[in-house]
Amino acid sequence: MRSGRSQDLSRNLYTPAMRYFLAAAEAGSIRAASRELNVASSAVNRQILWLEEALGLQLFDRVARRLRLSQAGELLLAHIRRTYSDFDGTVAELDALKGLRRGTVSIASVESVAEKLLPAIISSFRKSYPGIHVNVAVSSSREAARMVGAAEADVGFTFDPPETSSLTTAFHHDLVIGALMSPAHPLAGEKLLSLQDCLKYPVALPAEGLSLRTRIDVVRARILGASRTYVEANSLRLMRALAREEDVIGFQTLIGCEDDLEAGTLVFKPLSDAPLQEDRLCVVTSSLRALALAPGMFFDHAVYSLKDHLPSLAAK
């Protein structure tokens, strides 16, 4: 959410046409935008028509009383959001210089990283920078990458992000995918398992769309016979709970299950199938804008912490 200070400054520094277009695009109508901007509907409409004429493109498809963005409108909206996001970051840095505040860091993270690894990173970061506000959104790998690319988050913790021009993978670490099960499970005594071994028993699969599922499905396609799937879920925490309570096998990396392994309530068996040994944890940033002061400090701290923590985790 943009601060009142940056909004006030942007009103003076950015053209009315761009601001009125942004308000109309987000509100979905001229009338709703005029109420938000506290200006006449005719003024909003006039500025948008001027913008369309200047660009030589139609920015909205006008359907009844609603506005629907055209392809050109979608591109312009993405540009304006990136521009305003950069401006908000600059205002935060200027305020930090004046001692008004220290800035904000917006983070998008997958669930497994948010379980234990990310809280430790944030906690140690705030010991050094207690005045910096940290905002965290927990989502899927795909959504975390999208949020960073769309300037909705400064730093993303994700697995196997897409290769796009809007993202920079600033740090990565490959992790093996393993089978999680209770110590009483028939396979708990095995040193190394294949996915085919696991599919002889009820399993809890990550939901489609998760990076884990994509890699697992590559191997499943080569295995003859139906798997005894017990449940599919988009929550790794739920799958760990099922593995603890029943003779169900779940799948994930070592990240997120540290407490269960330490307590002995679950065991982790690396899977021998080649595509399951390279689930890539990545820290991503936008390639379209530089990190502001506070996000930059957090990014440096996060990468340092990961380099220190991940080798010891892999050795378990």
Bridging pattern class, strands 279-286 and 167-175: antiparallel
For residue 291, what pLDDT is reported?
85
Cα 253 to Cα 177: distance, rounded to the nearest angstrom: 5
Q: Which residues, including other chains, have CB under 8 Å from residue 71's CB and lie 6 or more apart?
A: none
In this predicted structure, what is the pLDDT of residue 191? 83
CA distance 157 to 106: 11
How far apart, in whole angstroms, are the C-alpha atoms of residue 45 and residue 49? Answer: 6
Q: Is the pTM of this model over 0.85?
A: no
Q: Which of 68, 71, 80, 65 is nearest to 32 (CA)?
A: 65
Residue 135: the pLDDT is 95
Tell the burial category of 90 from Cβ atoms under 10 Å away from its Cβ (0-12, 13-18, 19+): middle
Residue 250: predicted pLDDT: 92
- What is the structure's pLDDT at 13? 44
Count CB atoms within 10 A of the CB of residue 191.
6
Domains of the chain: 4-81+88-94 (1.10.10.10), 102-173+280-314 (3.40.190.10), 177-277 (3.40.190.10)
Q: What is the dihedral of CA 52, 53, 58, 61, to 10 degrees?
A: 70
Q: How far apart are CA 110 and CA 117, in angstroms?
A: 11
Tokens representing residue 59 in the block: 């920015």
> Cα–Cα distance between 294 and 88 in angstroms, integer?
12
pLDDT one digit per residue (tens) for the chain, 316 residues: 455 555 554 444 457 788 888 888 888 888 888 888 888 888 888 888 988 888 888 988 887 778 888 888 888 888 888 877 777 667 766 666 554 456 789 999 999 999 989 999 999 998 888 888 899 999 988 899 999 999 999 999 999 888 888 899 988 988 888 999 999 999 999 888 999 999 889 999 988 877 788 888 888 888 876 566 678 888 888 999 999 987 899 999 988 888 899 999 999 999 988 877 678 899 999 988 888 888 888 999 999 999 887 765 554 4
> What is residue 82's predicted lDDT score, i.e. its pLDDT?
81
> For tokens 């050795």, what's the residue?
315
Residue 274's pLDDT is 80
- The pLDDT score that the predictor gives to residue 99 is 47
